[in-house]
């Protein structure tokens, strides 16, 4: 399985509509460069079941298109000794990604007639990522007989032109999201979700992301509202102006508490919650010795045991 992330940015090379002038000196050798709003990207296997993640970036031409395919050259960079990466309040040690083990890079060919191409970097889930570190993939464009690597230029307002591209990737067991809770705010159980454990959370997210093709309106809205992993802390709350005429303060409204009932409830049920329940009901029946097995179809709310069917008339999805 693969997960694909589009990390490219728009080309900044500009040509007049009459083709009478260009923004580069036509007497200089052709150059190649990356152009993105940010040079550093992150990815994680922690919340997905896939063993590969493909990220992409664009390589742009500064010069004249050719009638022939042309190869550009890259080299892989080592992480500096002692480098760390801070994310979510956690500081991770950084290790160098190993070509062919932790990642692979696609063809480095600029096609004939093209002014840009998409470079694919396939990140691979490896045991080193479970050791509490970030694996760093560093790529640098270098000179060869066909192209020169353009120098870095951070003066641009919308993107940075650079010969460098970096991705940091990790893995690990995800923690319970704060919306996986019961009515008394006890994390780890909900009658509509059953018990939390990492594999179930990853499976829920996988069903959610599969809905992108089946119902893009629902998916695009949900991702914007709640984040790619349905757990974006910056999107967890939104402020609304107080309705009291005596107060000019905003109040915070919890967006993600039972977010599946706030909008597109039918879509959440159809694409995420019903498939998730049916998958595990069949799995538990076939694997009664699974250490995560739990009662399905029955609920003891006081004891926080069981997982209700989404179609149950009392504990069902819409109740």
Backbone angles phi, psi at 267, to 5 degrees: -70, -40
Say yes or no: 143 and 224 in one domain: no
Instruction: Please state the separation of Cα 218 from the chain's center in Å.
Output: 18
Residue 57 lies in a domain: yes
Q: Considering just the CA atoms, what is the radius of gyration of the chain in Å?
A: 24
What is residue 14's predicted lDDT score, i.e. its pLDDT?
A: 37
Is there a contact between 34 and 11 (Cβ–Cβ < 8 Å)? no
CA distances from 39 to 4, 35, 149, 202, 257 (A): 18, 8, 16, 28, 34
Task: Say if residue 274 is in the same domain as residue 164.
Answer: no
Residues 6+ apart with CB under 8 A from 184: none
User: In the listed set 106, 138, 170, which residue is the last one of a domain according to the structure?
Assistant: 170
The CATH number covering residue 149 comes to 2.60.40.2030
The alpha carbon of 168 is separated from its chain's Cα centroid by a whole number of angstroms, namely: 12
d(CA 54, CA 233): 25
Q: Are residues 160 and 195 both part of a single domain?
A: no
Same domain, 56 and 205: no
Within 8 A by CB and 6+ apart from 120, the residues are: 54, 55, 56, 105, 106
Distance, in Å, from the CA atom of 232 to the CA atom of 49, rounded to the nearest integer, reads 19
Domain assignment of residue 178, yes or no:
no
- Domain identity same for 164 and 194: no
Nearest C-alpha neighbor of 69 from the set 108, 31, 33: 108
Q: Are residues 155 and 33 in the same domain?
A: yes
pLDDT in tens, the chain (319 residues): 455 544 433 333 333 333 434 454 556 789 999 998 777 788 888 887 789 999 999 999 999 999 999 999 999 999 999 999 876 557 889 999 999 999 999 999 999 999 999 999 999 999 998 888 999 999 999 999 999 999 988 666 567 889 999 999 988 877 788 888 888 888 899 888 999 998 899 899 999 999 999 999 999 998 888 888 887 656 655 544 444 444 444 445 567 778 888 788 899 999 999 999 999 999 999 999 999 999 999 999 889 999 999 888 776 666 6
The pLDDT score that the predictor gives to residue 172 is 81
C-alpha–C-alpha distance, residues 130 and 138, integer Å: 20
Give yes or no: residues 210 and 284 share one domain. yes
Question: 142 forms bridges with which residues in the sheet?
Answer: 73
Structural domain of 229: 189-306
Residues 163 and 193 in one domain: no
| Single residue among 170, 201, 227 that ends a domain in this structure | 170
Q: Are residues 264 and 164 in the same domain?
A: no
Q: Are residues 127 and 264 in the same domain?
A: no
d(CA 8, CA 12): 12
- Asked if the structure places residue 54 within a domain, the reply is yes
Q: How many domains does the chain have?
A: 2
Q: Quick one: CA torsion of 36, 227, 47, 315, rounded to 10 degrees?
A: -170
pTM score: 0.58
Estimate to the nearest angstrom the gap between the alpha carbon of 107 and the chain centroid.
Answer: 23
């Amino acid at each position: 399985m693969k997960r694909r992330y589009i990390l490219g940015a728009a080309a900044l090379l500009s040509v007049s509509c009459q083709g009478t002038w260009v923004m580069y000196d036509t007497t200089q050798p052709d150059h190649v460069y990356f152009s993105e709003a940010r040079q550093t990207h992150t990815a994680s296997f922690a919340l997905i079941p896939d063993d590969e993640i493909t990220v992409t970036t664009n390589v742009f031409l500064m010069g004249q298109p050719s009638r022939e395919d042309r190869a550009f050259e890259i080299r892989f960079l080592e992480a500096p000794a002692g480098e760390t990466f801070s994310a979510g309040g956690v500081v991770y040690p950084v290790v160098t990604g190993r070509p062919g083990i932790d990642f692979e890079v696609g063809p480095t060919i600029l096609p004939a007639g093209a002014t840009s191409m998409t470079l694919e970097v396939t990140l691979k889930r490896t045991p080193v990522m479970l050791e509490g570190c970030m694996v760093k993939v560093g790529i640098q464009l270098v000179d060869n007989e066909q192209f020169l690597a353009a120098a870095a230029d951070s003066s641009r307002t919308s993107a940075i032109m650079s010969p460098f591209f970096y991705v940091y990737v990790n893995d690990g067991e995800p923690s319970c999201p704060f919306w996986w809770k019961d009515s008394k705010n006890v994390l780890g159980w909900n009658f509509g979700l059953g018990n939390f454990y990492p594999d179930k959370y990853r499976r829920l997210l996988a069903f959610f992301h599969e809905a992108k093709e089946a119902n893009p309106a629902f998916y695009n809205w949900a991702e914007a509202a709640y984040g790619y992993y349905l757990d974006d802390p910056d999107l967890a709350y939104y402020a609304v102006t107080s309705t009291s005429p005596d107060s000019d303060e905003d109040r915070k409204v919890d967006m993600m508490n039972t977010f599946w009932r706030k909008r597109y409830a039918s879509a959440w049920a159809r694409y995420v919650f019903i498939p998730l329940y049916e998958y595990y009901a069949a799995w538990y029946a076939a694997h009664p010795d699974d250490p995560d097995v739990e009662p399905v179809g029955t609920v003891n709310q006081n004891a926080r045991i069981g997982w209700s069917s989404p179609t149950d008339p009392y504990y069902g999805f819409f109740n």
